[in-house]
Amino acid sequence: MTPIYILNMKLIIAVLCALLSFCACTEVPIIGILSQETYSVKHLFPDEDYHSFIAASYVKLLESAGARVVPIWIGQDEEYYRKVVECTNGMLFPGGATYFNQSCGYAEAGQMIYDVALERNRNGDYYPIWGICLGMELLIEVANGLGQREVREACLSKKVSLPLEFRKDIQSSRTFGSAPKEVIKILLNENVTYNYHQFCVTEKGLKEFGLEKDWVILSTNRDINGLEFISSYESKHYPFYGVQFHPEKNMFEFKDSLNIPHSKNAVVVSQYLANEFVEETRRNSHSFNDWESEQKSLIYNYPAQFTGIKNSSYEQLYMFKKSDYKIFF
Rg (alpha carbons) of the chain, rounded to whole number: 20
- Distance (Å, rounded) from C-alpha 169 to C-alpha 177? 9
- Distance (Å, rounded) from C-alpha 152 to C-alpha 134? 10
Gap between the terminal Cα atoms of the chain: 50
Give tens-digit pLDDT for 204-242. Answer: 999 999 999 999 999 999 999 999 999 999 999 999 999
Q: Give the pLDDT of residue 207.
A: 96
If 0-12 CB within 10 Å is exposed, 13-18 middle and 19+ buried, where does residue 157 land? buried
Give tens-digit pLDDT for 142-151. Answer: 999 998 789 9
- Distance (Å, rounded) from C-alpha 13 to C-alpha 210? 40
pLDDT at residue 17 above 50? no
| b/e per residue 283-296 (b: at least 16 CB within 10 A) | bbebbbeeeeebee
51 catalytic per annotation? no
Average pLDDT over residues 74-83: 98
pLDDT at residue 16 above 60? no
- Strand, helix or coil for residue 144: helix
133 catalytic per annotation? yes
Q: Give the pLDDT of residue 24.
A: 60
Say how many C-beta atoms besides its own lie within 10 A of residue 327's C-beta.
Answer: 12
Kindly name the residue from 133, 155, 197, 200 that is annotated as catalytic: 133
Sequence-distant (6+) residues with CB within 8 A of 84 are 32, 70, 72, 91, 113, 116
Domains in the chain, ordered, with CATH?
29-324 (3.40.50.880)
Q: Give the pLDDT of residue 23.
A: 54
Backbone angles phi, psi at 185, to 5 degrees: -60, -45
Are 66 and 278 in contact, with CB atoms under 8 Å apart?
yes
Kindly name the residue from 51, 87, 200, 246 that is annotated as catalytic: 246
Greatest mean pLDDT among 99-103, 132-136, 148-152 lies in 132-136
Vertex 64: Cα angle to 291 and 173 (nearest 5)? 105
- Strand, helix or coil for residue 237: coil
Confidence of residue 101 (pLDDT cuts 50, 70, 90): confident
